[in-house]
Amino acid sequence: MTYTLSGGTVLDGRGGRIPQGTVVLRDGRIAAVGAAGQVPESLEGERLDTTGRTVMPGLFDAHVHVLSHSGARPYSPRTWPVTTFAEEQLLHAAANAHLALECGVTTLRDMAGGRAEVALKHALDDGVLPGPRLVTSGFIGMTGGHGDMFFPPSLTRRPFPVADGPDACRAAVRAHVRDGVDLIKICTSGGVLSLGDAVAWRNYTDAEVAAIVDEAHALGRRVAVHAHSRAGIAQALAAGVDTIEHGTELDEELAAGLAAAGCYLCPTLTISAYLVREGASHGIEAEALEKARAAHARHRDAIRLAWRAGVKLFAGTDSCNAMPFGQHTSELAALVEDVGLSPMEAVVAATSRAAEACGLADRTGALQAGLAADVLVVDGDPLADIRVLEDRSRIAGVFRDGRLLVERGLRRR
Ligand SMILES: [Zn+2]
């Protein structure tokens, strides 16, 4: 199938802007991008008039937990994951993925997964269900670590697997890679939503982190690290990890270190603000809310420091059981309003920069001939007002791999 989109402003996802551009999509890929008159408009297929609109790469939400509640009925974020069959949760995951697509997201990076997420990824890639591409991670945590402490110790059902000691950590990486995950996710500090731990707790020794990073890299997998504390960020940086998630207590020295190492940072500002604003009404316990308030107070300053130091930021919300899916583009507004990125820089953080961080830069994240036709048509100008992306009614069209999966009033020529 061929689509020619012409007349609108084109943002290439790498900072380039063409005021009146043409984008041709053919057989799932971007065939051509350029100014009007420079690109031969295809006479085959559909010709779409994007005048007054913006054509840009599909967005990333690079930090989500897709296996989360998606229904309309009230639920407990704490107990639903352990009182519901995994099969039922997978149906919710499919709905979450579809909701993200409706918001303009064509790539999700899941941050604590396993076989269910790999299964969903395959179904989405096969076109069984309409949805974004899904980058899957295999989660590994220590006994008593951030993942393990999400659920009461008395429960035998523990959704986040544990491995202790370098050899067991290596074995866990190997098992995840055998199952087909795209990357490995670990924690080097405690967390906000876990109960009974402290954010400052060490999660994993240097030897365990080194074993995980060595094994993952040997098997061609990136390592993403949940780290709030200064010590946890420093430990992850020293071990040569690929991305840091959250980065709440970053200081100038660590920011300089991250920038020098080329380590990417996914701040997840959206959940940080959400928990303080709406956590209580969403059933989050007082203990977790107290940790959330303390983290939120430092978070913005830390991310501003990182941005000023030249750390490569990319967009992720941490949508999960504690913060429902559907708010994926809020992270761009947070990067602009709270951190000081320009709207164009925020678009880059949610497209080409996120693709680099996920190891997908040769496949998606920019409007460039040869890349996958993951394309968004927005009824408005995100550079004038980044929040137009938050208005779902203005997401006029979403293509994934050249398939038009969301359509709200596209105009045919
Ligand atoms: Zn997360």
Query: Position of tokens 């920019």?
Result: 366
Distance between Cα 21 and ligand 1 center (Å): 37
With tokens 């009007």, the residue in question is 36
Distance CA 38, CA 67 (A): 45
Q: Distance, CA 270 to ligand 1 centroid (Å)?
A: 11
Euclidean distance between CA atoms 133 and 120, whole angstroms: 10
Enter the CATH code of domain 59-357.
Answer: 3.20.20.140
Compute, in angstroms, the gap from residue 325 CA to the centroid of ligand 1: 13
| Ligand 1 centroid to residue 343 C-alpha, Å | 25
Phi, psi of 323 (to 5 degrees): -145, 105
Task: Report the separation in Å between the CA atom of 372 and the middle of ligand 1, taken as the mean of its atom positions.
Answer: 27
Backbone angle region of 180, left / alpha / beta, with phi > 0 → left and psi within -120 to 50 → alpha = left
User: What separation in Å is there between the alpha carbon of 320 and the centre of ligand 1?
Assistant: 7
Q: What is the pLDDT of residue 247?
A: 97
Question: Which residue, 180, 170, 260, 262, is CA-closest to 217?
Answer: 170
The kind and range of the H/E element at 4 are strand 2-6
**Looking at residue 337, what is its pLDDT?**
97
Contact 102, 131 (CB under 8 A): no
pLDDT at 39: 87
Ligand 1 centroid to Cα of residue 347, in Å, is 21
Q: How far is the CA of 317 from the centre of ligand 1 (A)?
A: 8
* C-alpha 228 to ligand 1 mean position (Å): 12
C-alpha 318 to ligand 1 mean position (Å): 5
Distance (Å, rounded) from C-alpha 71 to C-alpha 94?
11
CB atoms within 10 A of CB 393: 8
Domain residue spans of the chain? 2-57+365-412, 59-357
Where helices occur in 240-369 by DSSP H, the ranges are 252-261, 269-278, 286-309, 330-334, 343-349, 352-357
2-57+365-412: what fold? Answer: Urease, subunit C; domain 1 (2.30.40)
Beta-bridge partner residues of 378? 54, 395
- Measured in angstroms, how far is the CA atom of residue 211 from the centroid of ligand 1? 22
Q: How far is the centre of ligand 1, averaged over its atoms, from the C-alpha of 64 (Å)?
A: 6
111 CA → ligand 1 middle, Å = 6
| 299 alpha carbon – ligand 1 mean position (Å) | 15
User: Residue 167 to residues 40, 113, 146, 159, 188: CA-CA distances in angstroms?
Assistant: 58, 21, 20, 21, 18
Find the 44 Cα to ligand 1 centroid distance in Å.
Answer: 44
Nearest partner of 375 among 358, 343, 351, judged by Cα? 351
Q: CA-to-CA distance for 282 and 291, rounded, in angstroms?
A: 16
CA 53 – ligand 1 centroid, Å? 33
Rounded to the nearest angstrom, the gap between the alpha carbon of residue 190 and the centroid of all alpha carbons in its chain is: 20
| DSSP3 helix / strand / coil % (the chain, rounded to 5) | 35, 25, 40
Write the DSSP assignment of 186-207 as a string of letters: EESB--SSSSSS-TT-B-S-HH
Residues with CB under 5 A from ligand 1 (ion): 111, 318
Cα(354) to ligand 1 centroid in Å equals: 16
Q: Which residues contact 62 (CB under 8 A, 6 or more apart)?
A: 107, 108, 109, 135, 266, 314, 315, 316, 354, 357, 358
Rounded to the nearest whole angstrom, what is the distance from the C-alpha of residue 85 to the centroid of ligand 1?
Answer: 21
How much is the pTM?
0.97
Ligand 1 mean position to 276 CA, how many Å? 16
Helix (H) or strand (E) segment spanning residue 227: strand 222-227
User: How far does residue 271's CA lie from ligand 1's centre (Å)?
Assistant: 9
What does each of the 413 residues of the chain score in pLDDT, given as a tens digit?
Answer: 999 999 999 999 999 999 999 999 999 999 999 998 898 766 789 999 999 999 999 999 999 999 999 999 989 998 999 999 999 999 999 999 999 999 999 999 999 989 999 999 999 999 999 999 999 999 999 999 999 999 999 999 999 999 999 999 999 999 999 999 999 999 999 999 999 999 999 999 999 999 999 999 999 999 999 999 999 999 999 999 999 999 999 999 999 999 999 999 999 999 999 999 999 998 899 999 999 999 998 999 999 999 999 999 999 999 999 999 999 999 999 999 999 999 999 999 999 999 999 999 999 999 999 999 999 999 999 999 999 999 999 999 999 999 999 999 999 98
